Amino acid sequence: MVKLGIYGTVYNSADTIRTTIEDLKKKLKYDFVISVCDNFSKDGTFEILKEYDFIDAFQRKSTRGLGRQYALENLIKNHPDVDYIFYIDFDVIFPDYLNELIDGIIKIYKENEIIGFGGFASLSTYKKILIKVRWRDMNVTEDFMYSVDIIHKGFNLYFLGLPISFNQERPKRERKYAKGLKYINRLFKIYFKDYALHKLLATWIKFNSIRDSERILHTHLKDILIPPELYLDKNLLFLIIPYHPGYLKKMIKKLSLYYDYVYIYIIKRKNKVKYYLIIYYDYKTIEKYLMNFLRYVNKTFDPNKVIKINLK
């Protein structure tokens, strides 16, 4: 029987962590264990984790990136009987088709692949990753840089073109880490070290390009897997990609193999001259995920700006 290893990191997440764990218990039918690194939470988070016998929780001073690294190392060391591994955040809710999604990923999985549902990969692939790639000492965009480093080291990374989680409401997320001058100092470190030095400079150096870092990542992806390829309902199509004419053309060509038409919604990124494209097939199916994403990035939805693209 397949056993899943799940890892993650937390800090002061008592307001969301129980909901995430209980939701996972309800929807995931596989045998699983969770390795969690807690950054010495002060709100009872660690005590909640210790209530569950399937959670291997420990405390260690860490950033979000290093916390995931420590949790991954702990998982592989203490639970070598798992077959596949992925990470989660502890402020999300999972879709009702979570189990079917994992079924679909396992059906098509090949060694040295990393699938964009929490970096889903086999135990043997993760052992290779541990030798070549580490989660960076970062508090934002750590998952972006992990993806960049994985690709740069020769692994095949796939993203998923469907909803994989739903963010719980959590205003002022960064405020849980620091207050006052410490909060200002934290923001400075985030935007200078994590964003400027890592996400921009490191990405440019690795791929010898000064193009937009999001565009670089998507250009070097192996592929984006869409619902029919994972044996899921085609109505679940939900893609968010950086706008670039060549990349859009490539995605349209792929989508035309499975869909007669799609809808495209364009939103501006934080950099006002750059855009994201949201691509979907059935609005009712993905509506709550779309609205959740737009709230998360402080955007609103204008149905008059939706464009229908016929693919046949």
DSSP per-residue codes, 296-308: HTT----GGG-EE
For residue 200, the model assigns a pLDDT of 53
Residue 9 structure tokens: 């990191």
Statement to judge: residues 154 and 10 lie in one domain: yes
Tokens 């059935």 belong to residue: 282
104 lies in some domain: yes
Statement to judge: residues 15 and 162 lie in one domain: yes
Statement to judge: residues 8 and 148 lie in one domain: yes
For residue 307, the model assigns a pLDDT of 96
Domain final residue pick, 167, 183, 198: 167
223 lies in some domain: no
For residue 218, the model assigns a pLDDT of 79
Segments of the chain with pLDDT less than 70: 169-212, 270-273
- CATH at residue 38: 3.90.550.10
187 lies in some domain: no
Statement to judge: residues 44 and 121 lie in one domain: yes
Q: What is the pLDDT of residues 256-290, one digit of tens each?
A: 999 999 999 999 876 555 888 999 999 999 999 99
Which of these, 102, 100, 122, 101, lies nearest to 112 by C-alpha position?
A: 122
Which of these, 6, 272, 288, lies nearest to 119 by C-alpha position?
A: 6
Which of these, 80, 56, 200, lies nearest to 140 by C-alpha position?
A: 200
For residue 174, the model assigns a pLDDT of 46
For residue 87, the model assigns a pLDDT of 98
Statement to judge: residues 256 and 126 lie in one domain: no
248 lies in some domain: yes
Domain final residue pick, 111, 134, 167: 167
95 lies in some domain: yes
Statement to judge: residues 46 and 158 lie in one domain: yes
Please state the separation of Cα 104 from the chain's center in Å. Answer: 18
Tokens 């890592």 belong to residue: 198
Q: Domain range spanning residue 45? A: 3-167
87 lies in some domain: yes
Domain final residue pick, 147, 167, 187: 167
Residue 188 structure tokens: 């400075």
213 lies in some domain: no
Statement to judge: residues 26 and 155 lie in one domain: yes
Statement to judge: residues 149 and 254 lie in one domain: no
Statement to judge: residues 12 and 115 lie in one domain: yes
196 lies in some domain: no
CA distance 278 to 264: 6
Statement to judge: residues 30 and 137 lie in one domain: yes
How many domains is the chain built from?
A: 2
Statement to judge: residues 153 and 244 lie in one domain: no
For residue 271, the model assigns a pLDDT of 59
Please state the separation of Cα 90 from the chain's center in Å. Answer: 12
For residue 301, the model assigns a pLDDT of 94
